A and B are shown apart, each in its own frame.
Chain A
Amino acid sequence: MGKVISTLERKARHFNVENRAMKVISKEKRPTAKRPGSVDLDSAAAEHKAQVAAAVKEKDARLEGMLKGVYLTSTDAVPDAKPAEDAARDVRRPLPTDRSPVEQPEWGYAEPKTVPPGRLTLRQAVAFLTAHQADPRPTTLARLAADRNLGIDAARHLVAHFRIFEVYVPDAAAAGGGRHLRVQDPLTAMKSLGPAAMAEEGAKQAGKMREQWEEAERILNPKRKKKEKEKAEKVLDPTPEEGK
């Protein structure tokens, strides 16, 4: 069936094909496109250029009329005297007005404003340990843990494995003698050891500790204390010296 259709189509397509072909061939040929080398582009361009050059020299009345209507005035730009104030007006994106160098954070890192429950910042952890060392009773530990939302186990592990250092500095008076270490007041020691905040937090809790340290110092440096006492007595009561 398909073959029959294609055969019929071909017959219809080729009907009178010879006559139609002759008709096309016998027509007069149309002019062909010029070949590239046959046009003198240089001379055409030169001609156009000359025309433009001539046109530029001539006065165009229309353009002249338009130009006569234009008046140009100018004034000096006023410098922005107060850029900070202008910037402050844009509340959404104010420009920085403080150009001082950024201060280093006290503890070496940016401290968060909010702390999730059961966690501590380093500052809080140091305060926690200081408070515990000032009063190492279990009840105090439980209270401190509750304050910080810490589990009691976590608090126990914390104080069992981490402590604040005690600080010792050489004593000028005792440098020549055998005892060259002087126990320093815990608050001063903390100041020299770390940030001032450590001392502030410690000050709240360290009254008891200070007594212990003073006692320690008395035992470490009995001679010095004795001398100081003698000095103080002399100042108070100068009569024995006169007697001598």
Chain B
Amino acid sequence: MSLLTLARAAARPITLCACNLVRPRRLSPALLASPRQPTGTASLRPCTSQFFDGGETDPLNRTSVTIMNTGAEYGLMIDTFSAAGFRLNNGISVIGPMAIFARSVLSWNVGDHTEITPDSLSLFTLLAPRLDILVIGVGDAGLQSRVDPAVLVCLRRARISYELLPTEQACSTFNFLNSEGRYVAGAFIPPSDVKLTADDIHDNVTRDRNIYQIPD
């Protein structure tokens, strides 16, 4: 990664300066309580589409693959996530929960799934062209059933379609919906439990090695 950019929830800038590595304004209680530190980021499997070119022009019948996350024309997508936040396909790392739209991202000030309320989703119901779909990533798998039912009632009343998913699936869902050009919004809380594959660990090691690399 050539550009390491950190974006984080706005805090009082003066208090930030005391620490070297910037802490988010508000970490999820689950994260603080967890003995497990955010040691790495898990990669979302890239969205791929394949085109089979065959026949006389290409006797080898080669396959070409398009990785959607690398195409800027698809809009913002989530490349990886960790217990601390998300990394987007434009190289920006987001710390903490976020509200993501087709081409913009806002900080979402909630701690965990219990704070997903009609009030904390107020922006999505206020938006003037009604959202096609709202993808809510609640964090860890299994928490979506513990979300306040009043949220669902509120969203139905506002006639907004929604998907209530664990954050990992929610990110993939958002990526796909956004690549299709729908007017989609995502409200994601970083999961506290991140399962890393061997590929993810390798990526993390490589990234850490080049963490101070400055883009040319």
**Residue ranges of A at the interface with B (Cβ–Cβ < 8 Å):** 104, 106-112, 115-116, 118-122, 124-126, 129, 133, 150, 154, 157-158, 160-170, 172, 175-176, 178-181, 183, 192-195, 198, 212-213, 215-216, 219-220
Contact = CB atoms under 8 A, between A and B. Distances in A.
B103 interface: yes
B11 to A, nearest CB: 8
Contact of A120 (B20, B76, B126, B183): B126
A193 B105 contact: yes
Interface string B1-31: 0011111111101101100111000000000
Contacts of A118: 126
Given A168-B8, A194-B104, A219-B14, A161 B126 contact: no
Given A120-B127, A120-B128, A170-B4, A215 B212 contact: no
Given A112-B128, A172-B214, A164 B101 contact: no
A122 B127 contact: yes
5 contacts: A109-B183, A157-B119, A162-B108, A168-B8, A194-B104
Contact of B9 (A109, A163, A176, A183): A163
Contact of A166 (B10, B101, B103, B119): B10
A166 to B, nearest CB: 5
Nearest to B119: A157
Given A160-B120, A165-B8, 20 more contacts: A107-B101, A108-B178, A110-B129, A120-B127, A125-B127, A161-B123, A162-B109, A162-B123, A165-B10, A165-B94, A166-B8, A166-B13, A168-B8, A176-B212, A178-B20, A181-B20, A183-B13, A193-B92, A193-B105, A216-B17
Contact of A158 (B8, B105, B123, B128): B123
Contacts of B6: 167-169, 181
A181 B22 contact: yes
B109 A160 contact: yes
B107 to A, nearest CB: 4
Contacts of A166: 7-11, 13
B14 A164 contact: no
Contact of B212 (A121, A167, A180): A180
A118 B121 CA distance: 16
B106 to A, nearest CB: 5
Given A108-B75, A215-B14, A219-B14, A165 B105 contact: yes
A42 to B, nearest CB: 54
B61 interface: no
Name the residue among A154, A163, A180 with the largest chain B CB count within 10 angstroms.
A163
B128 A162 contact: no
Nearest to A189: B7
B98 to A, nearest CB: 8
B103 A161 contact: no
The bracket for how many chain B residues form the interface is 35 or more
Nearest to A121: B128
A166 B104 CA distance: 13
Interface in B72-124: 73, 75-76, 92, 94, 99, 101-110, 119-123
B129 A165 contact: no
Given A116-B128, A158-B123, A161-B122, A126 B13 contact: no
A168 B65 CA distance: 34
B151 to A, nearest CB: 13
Contacts of B9: 163, 165-166
A169 B91 CA distance: 11
Contact of B126 (A104, A112, A125, A169): A125
Given A108-B103, A178-B20, A193 B123 contact: no
